[in-house]
A and B are shown apart, each in its own frame.
Chain A
Amino acid sequence: MISANLLIWAILFILFLFCVIVYLLRNKRISMKYALVWILAIAIILFVLMLPSLMYRLASLFGFELLSNMILCVFIGILLFITLALTVMVSGQKKKITLLIQEVSILKKEVEDK
């Protein structure tokens, strides 16, 4: 059985994470578009944490012997997903920045040649 103690700590940690995200948003350090991915993840985790019986059924359904293993796996899965999403964004930005530099260089050349 997962102890009530552990559950409370997990919920507190998630709420703390939520506060950090709100703080970052408030100081304009991150934009809402990317914060929403985190808020969605937090909502899902909170929802699952609130229903331990559901967690047990899911764990046995997926063949986990220990509930804590499933929780760890889910966390790692979510983190992998977010990292992958960030990689996609970085790649896109890299491409845009390169195009921008080229565009500016051409413009600069044309202005200087005149």
Chain B
Amino acid sequence: MQTGYRYALNHQYDVAIQFDGDGQHDVSYVKKLIEPILNDEKDFTIGSRFIENISGFKTSFSRRIGIKVLSFFIKFTSGFRLYDTTSGFRASNKAVIKEFANDYPIEYPEPITVVELLKKGYRVQELGVNMKERLKGHSSIHSWKEFYYMINVCFSILIVGLRRYK
């Protein structure tokens, strides 16, 4: 993932879009995501399934609980209420591209990077988008690994909360 951001930095891109390749995301929402960035209102935008609930996206009960817990931890450490904590549909401006090119977590980067950006004072916004069911492939988060994932991410968020930036 970081490779993409490094590439964007090397080619001096103004905006980078992160987009899942499994058919879950809808290209038509890219415009909505990059608009606040082009207007220089936000530094980083996240496509969310849970805002405006356009698609009526259904997720499993355990997944919903997991997302609620992560949402709570993010609110606790950064004061920002994020609804779709694991969304991989995101857009970043030049400054954020630089951050990600320099340092990007290897494991489960989505929730952790958002907290890092918030702690560093970047302007983040979550925007409602439509998401489809996966055409193929599984989420990298499932079954017995779910517990490990939750522990890892919750601890990581708390550690980011302990860091002092600026």
| Interface, chain A (partner B; CB < 8 A) | 22, 25-26, 28, 31-33, 35-36, 39
Contacts and interface: CB of A to CB of B under 8 A. Distances in A.
A26 B107 contact: no
B151 A36 contact: yes
Given A22-B159, A25-B159, A31 B151 contact: no
B152 A22 contact: no
A43 B22 CA distance: 39
B155 interface: yes
24 contacts: A22-B159, A22-B162, A25-B159, A26-B159, A26-B162, A26-B163, A28-B103, A31-B105, A31-B106, A31-B107, A32-B107, A32-B152, A32-B155, A32-B156, A32-B159, A33-B106, A33-B107, A33-B152, A35-B155, A36-B148, A36-B151, A36-B152, A36-B155, A39-B155
A33 B151 CA distance: 10
A32 B162 CA distance: 14
B162 to A, nearest CB: 5
B152 to A, nearest CB: 5
Contacts, number: 24
A26 B162 CA distance: 7
Nearest to B156: A32
Q: Which secondary structure dominates where chain B touches chain A? A: helix
A74 B28 CA distance: 58
Contacts of B159: 22, 25-26, 32
A28 B160 CA distance: 10
A31 B151 CA distance: 13
A32 B155 CA distance: 8
Contacts of A26: 159, 162-163
Contacts of B106: 31, 33
Nearest to A35: B155
Contacts of B107: 31-33
Contacts of A39: 155
Contacts of B152: 32-33, 36
A26 B152 CA distance: 14
Contacts of A28: 103
Contacts of B155: 32, 35-36, 39
